[in-house]
Amino acid sequence: MSVSKKKIMRKRLNSGLLVLLVLTVVACESDYVPKPKGYNRFDLPEHEYVSLADTLPYRFEYSKYARVLKDSSWISDPYWIEIYYPDFKADVHITYKTISNQDSLKEYLNDAYFLTAKHQIKARSIDESITRTPSGKTVVYAELSGEVPSQFQFFTTDSTRHFLRGALYFNTAVQNDSLKPAIDFAKIDIVHMMNTLQWNTKNGGKP
């Protein structure tokens, strides 16, 4: 084989290898799927708690990383508060009602179930559970999945004097799937709140 033919074949081989390399790079790039926006990274601390001030008809231990704010909504009652997480932009809205008779208890129970059911349109599922706290209180939890504004709700009552309800909200447009670490963190705190809940006898409570 002549030298000129060898050079031609070598050039063709190099060209072929270059084309193969380009195609390989393009194919690899076409498989790349960019990470969706909105997937926040949460640096979650250890769970630590402080006691609620002794100025309400109820008290419990809440996260030391949260702040207690007075509910500022126009329908707020005197004993309604928000447990606000600045790092998550999340709120646990706490509402409290005094039970005057069995009719009022039925009204509060119906309202609690109605407020949870309002999310059925967007919720993939609503899982309800009933638990007993160490002090013997019954708490009803509702865990909502899907793109719902409230991911966790709960209520408890002694059926004679006190009715307390709460709901977790995140004040952000980030999707709930990416909020899951923060949601799970807040859920643990909420369960601890209910496990340490006591009715305050100094503010209208009964022993």
Tens of pLDDT, residue by residue over 134-150, are 999 999 999 988 888 88
What percentage of the chain exceeds 70 in pLDDT?
A: 75
Q: Give the per-residue pLDDT at 42.
A: 63
Task: Give yes or no: residues 29 and 54 share one domain.
Answer: no
79-90 pLDDT, tens digit each: 999 999 999 899
The verdict on 188 and 87 lying in the same domain is yes
- E strand intervals along the chain: 49-51, 58-59, 61-63, 67-70, 81-85, 90-98, 123-132, 138-146, 150-157, 162-170, 198-199
- 19 vs 112 pLDDT, higher one: 112
Range of 28-42, 53-67, 104-118, 172-186 with top mean pLDDT: 53-67
Q: Which residue range forms the structural domain that includes residue 160?
A: 49-203
Q: Is the pLDDT of residue 121 over 90?
A: no
Strands 198-199 and 162-170: unpaired
Examine the pLDDT at 133 and tell me if it is beyond 50. yes
Verify that 29 and 55 share a domain, yes or no: no
Contact between 152 and 165 under an 8 Å Cβ cutoff? The reply is: no
Higher local confidence (pLDDT), 175 or 113? 113
Strand order in the sheet with 81-85: 67-70, 81-85, 90-98, 162-170, 150-157, 138-146, 123-132
With 90 as the cut, is the pLDDT of residue 37 above it?
no
What's the CATH code of the domain at 176? 3.40.1000.10
Give 1's pLDDT tier (boundaries 50, 70, 90).
Answer: low
Q: Are 17 and 77 in the same domain? A: no
**Mean pLDDT in the chain?**
81
Confidence grade of residue 52 (pLDDT, cut at 50, 70, 90): very high
The domain total for the chain is: 2
pLDDT reported for residue 44: 86
43 falls within a domain:
no
Whether residues 20 and 81 fall in one domain: no
> Could you tell me if 60 and 129 lie in one domain?
yes
Q: Are residues 26 and 67 in the same domain?
A: no
Instruction: Report the pLDDT value the prediction gives residue 106, as an integer from 0 to 100.
Output: 95
